[in-house]
Structure 1
């Protein structure tokens, strides 16, 4: 079960990722994923993208792979430590991407996209956590597998 990205957003012009807290009349209240979280209102003028709606272009017949699935592949392959140096070159990013998603479309996936992918993965791994997502999925599965309790019959 891939990580749940429905409440995680990237805001154009602002670095990092943001958790959607609640809607307001003029926008959405978001909280940054960082050591000292900052709360702000993202208004209509801010270009906000939910990570759940982002996909990576591929050359296979499907054409794209959801970002959550790509993050899951990175987590399975590398865990907490990405194979990138402190200041990775463009070739390092391309090699990393081809190891994680061999069918990525190198004409439409730019190095800047790969940099965001790596940075976002590190933020999500630190503040959201893939282990927490796995536990939530297991709990949800266990709850759906429990037999339904029949209501007791009322006595007249």
Structure 2
């Protein structure tokens, strides 16, 4: 197991194996006999061991925890000869042996207690991690960091959740298109009706004009007949 899959959680003792991310956080499993699985929320402080380092006084300013654990393994193998309950002098002397240039102002006894405790847990529950470190199985240049892997898994979860929503939207759009196709077009019918009304109105108008002309013709004929009779009387 790579150190990017092992994490420490603030407020919780021991170490945890990172299982997978969820919508509300990350599922982890305790590295002990119980192997309890819990969900660590986004507000909880979780430190992946791959990202942890120890302060030093050199130009780098710190040394990766992975390098420190590898040094302990090379020097002490699977037994460091002490635990987190050792005296402060024993713990600081142990760290001095492993990291001679550690920063005494920034590294505390509590930090060394965690280091010893974490190493003993790894030895007991995932010793293959130490062998992999020694054999260079997990090269930093080719392996993703713990944070990158978690981010990648979260992206996969988000993508899976987005697909059903996209399918629903697509189905709804398709249904709307089908309903639009099935709906009869009323506008052309309205145009035809309007055209018929216009045609009838035009016919009525023409008939009215013709009637008016006939009336004018009759009136003119009557006037002419009246004038003719008047002329005959005068004669």
Structure 2 length-normalised TM: 0.54
Q: Could you say what the CA RMSD is over the residues aligned between the two structures, in angstroms?
A: 1.9
Instruction: State how far apart, in whole Å, the 2-side matches of 1:30 and 1:132 are.
Output: 22
Instruction: State how far apart, in whole Å, the 2-side matches of 1:64 and 1:9 are.
Output: 19
Answer whether contact 1:83 1:96 (CA < 8 A) is retained: no
Give 1:48 shift.
0.8
Deviates more, 1:104-113 or 1:124-133: 124-133
Deviation digits for residues 73-94 of structure 1 (CA, Å, limit 9, x no counterpart): 0111111111326841100011
Answer whether contact 1:10 1:18 (CA < 8 A) is retained: yes
**Greater strand proportion:** 1
Partner of 1:28: 26
The 5 A counterparts of 1:2-151 are 4-84=2-82, 87-129=85-127, 130-134=130-134, 137=137
Q: Which has the higher contact order (CA 8 A, sep 6+)?
A: 1
Deviation digits for residues 83-136 of structure 1 (CA, Å, limit 9, x no counterpart): 326841100011000001111111100000000000001111222211255468
**Greater helix proportion:** 2
Structure 1 residue runs of 5 or longer lacking an equivalent are 139-156
Structure 2 residue runs of 5 or longer lacking an equivalent are 139-235
Instruction: State how far apart, in whole Å, the 1-side matches of 2:13 and 2:57 are.
Output: 29
Instruction: State how far apart, in whole Å, the 1-side matches of 2:54 and 2:83 are.
Output: 23
SS at 2:19 equivalent:
strand
Aligned residues: 136
Partner of 1:152: none
Instruction: State how far apart, in whole Å, the 1-side matches of 2:83 and 2:133 are.
Output: 27
Deviates more, 1:129-138 or 1:22-31: 129-138
Structure 1 length-normalised TM: 0.80
SS at 1:6 equivalent:
helix
- The structure number with the bigger radius of gyration is 2
SS at 2:114 equivalent:
helix
Deviates more, 1:70-79 or 1:43-52: 43-52
